[in-house]
Amino acid sequence: MTSSVIRILASAAITALLMQASLASDKVLQLQVSDDPEDNCSLTLEPNPSLMIESDGSVIARVVSLADSDCVAGEGNAARLFLSPSSVQTGGTFQAVWVSTAGNCQASTSTGTIGGSGWSGSKTQDGVQTGLVAPSTAGTYELNLNCDSEVSAQASLQVNAPPPSPVAISAFNFRVNSGTTQPAQNLTVDEGANLRISWSTTNATSCTAEGSLAGWSGASISTSGSRDVTIGSDSGTVRLSCLNSADQSTAQTQTFEITVQPPVPQECAGRRPSNWQRQTDCIFNDSTRDCTSYEAVFGSWPGTPNARQFFLRQNHYVAMRFVPPANMSSNFEASISVEEPQFGIAGTGTKIFTISRCPGDFDRDKITQEMGSNRCYFRQFTAGGSFMFGGLNAGPTHCKFVPPPNGEPLYLNIVYTDDPAGTNPTQLTWGCGGDQQCANRFNIVLVQ
């Protein structure tokens, strides 16, 4: 510390406590210890202060006697009490620094009790006391120093409650119908489907259901739990926002899009398996694939030659929507090869593939009539074969079709059943040898 000039109002006999302030590079110090504005003096301090308060050196105190200086003597008694820091969290530590012109000093508190080494009992005329501990209740606490000759000093300690812990959303999941619970993502769902939204949080005291999806937006929800939403005709968004007790910490999920499939045409009624569910995840160990979309499973039309570990749960089917390009060649040919699964699910199930204008359509007669091909309904009972499709000039074993007008979609439908080909779809029963899941490895094979 370099020499500094201090302007002080005091008597010559007073002892002055000087505190360092980082006001400038020369560390100018200033302290008023008397109320007499006429007694002004200047004092040059040397380095090496006698008392250091903070371990990091940010606050320095020293005691000097003005009686040894050239200051003009004055009258008056005074004391000063400083707390460092003067604002702490509950249970935090602080220290007191004081100086007095009178002796026989006593420490006390007007409110509360100071822990640690405590602020009570006899004190010297000047000193530093460390190890003081703030009360466990937030508030303002007054510390007193009372000495002879009615000399006294007070200092306020502001005790603050610790900031609340930050809020975190530890889980936010979706489940469509009786499918698997999976991390929230953008979804395409059927009107009337059940969307279960589940979540859990830490350090939250309130959560809000945000977005525009009917049945979710504005709902009264807890900080952890689940909510079932019946999907209406309108698409919407879903977001979760949570706060802590002081509204000082907020956590939000991203906004997820819930897109409702166009309503099933009236002519599609009665062409699905009765009381079965449309499965929305069908790729083993990859619940992020939206199995209502052909391209989400197989890639951009007509697909890429990568193996897909396909599976279905008991009494579920898939209906993958796709829109073949209007300029699709009449010579276009492709197939989905079917192999034994390479993961831990049985692959013994007989399955039916269809391509239809209707999702979940397994009505052989109506598919043949509408698609103009008896190959768009295909029952396969062994692995190693393929479901083949293509343009009007494709081979005789292919499901042949032309792109529907106006960009209307088609659906690739798959179900596991041991029932004979042509069984009324409302009477289909689950196959797969009685197992609750059945699987195969699928791949796209292209012949352009």
User: What does the alpha-carbon distance between residue 333 and residue 390 come to, in Å, rounded to a whole number?
Assistant: 4
Give me the pLDDT at residue 434, please: 78
Please tell me the least confidently modeled range out of 83-97, 350-364, 379-393, 404-418: 379-393
Rounded distance between C-alpha atoms, residue 392 and residue 382, angstroms? 27
Tell me the pLDDT tens digit for each residue of 30-54. Answer: 333 333 344 444 444 444 444 434 4
- Domain definitions of the chain by residue range: 1-76, 78-162, 168-260, 266-447
Pick 168-260's CATH classification: 2.60.40, 2.60.120, 2.50.20, 3.40.50.
2.60.40
Do residues 349 and 416 lie in contact, with contact meaning Cβ atoms separated by under 8 Å? yes
Please report which confidence band the pLDDT of residue 335 belongs to, taking 50, 70 and 90 as the band edges: very high
Query: Which residue, among 68, 63, 94, has the nearest Cα to 79 in the 3D structure?
Result: 63
pLDDT for residue 426: 93
pLDDT at 380 over 90: no
Pick the CATH number of 78-162 from 2.60.120.10, 2.40.50.100, 3.40.50.2300, 2.60.40.10: 2.60.40.10
Q: Which amino acid is at 278?
A: R
pLDDT for res 327: 92
Angstrom distances, CA of residue 15 to CA of 100, 318, 395 = 7, 89, 108
Q: What is the pLDDT of residue 248?
A: 67
Q: Which residues pair with 221 in a beta bridge?
A: none
User: Average pLDDT, whole number, for the chain?
Assistant: 81
Task: Quickly state the pLDDT bin for 65 (edges 50, 70, 90).
Answer: very low
Q: What is the pLDDT of residue 49?
A: 40
pLDDT band at 318 (very low <50, low <70, confident <90, very high): very high
Task: Report pLDDT digits (tens) over 123-149.
Answer: 998 888 999 999 989 999 999 999 998
pLDDT for 223: 95
| pLDDT above 80: residue 382 | no
Question: Closest by alpha carbon to 388, among 326, 438, 338?
Answer: 338
Q: What is the pLDDT of residue 383?
A: 67
Q: Is the pLDDT of residue 121 over 70?
A: yes
Say if residue 423's pLDDT is above 60: yes
| CA angle (443, 444, 448) in 5-degree steps | 160
Residue 16: which of 42, 53, 38, 48 has the closest Cα?
Answer: 42
Res 58 pLDDT > 70: no
Model confidence at 69, pLDDT cuts 50, 70, 90, reads very low
State the Cα–Cα distance between residues 297 and 317, nearest whole angstrom: 15
- pLDDT for 347 equals 66
| Distance in angstroms (rounded) separating the CA atoms of residues 415 and 354 | 9
Q: Which residue has the higher pLDDT, 377 or 350?
A: 377
Of the given ranges (31-35, 168-172, 297-301, 373-377), which has the lowest mean pLDDT? 31-35
The pLDDT of 83-92, averaged and rounded, is 91
* The predicted structure's pLDDT at residue 447: 62
Which of 281-285, 361-365, 378-382, 393-397 reaches the highest mean pLDDT?
361-365
Question: Cα torsion at 104, 6, 49, 98 (round to 10°)?
Answer: 20
pLDDT confidence of residue 216: 96
Span 48-77, average pLDDT? 44
Q: What are the pLDDT digits (tens) for 212-243?
A: 999 999 988 999 999 999 999 899 999 999 99
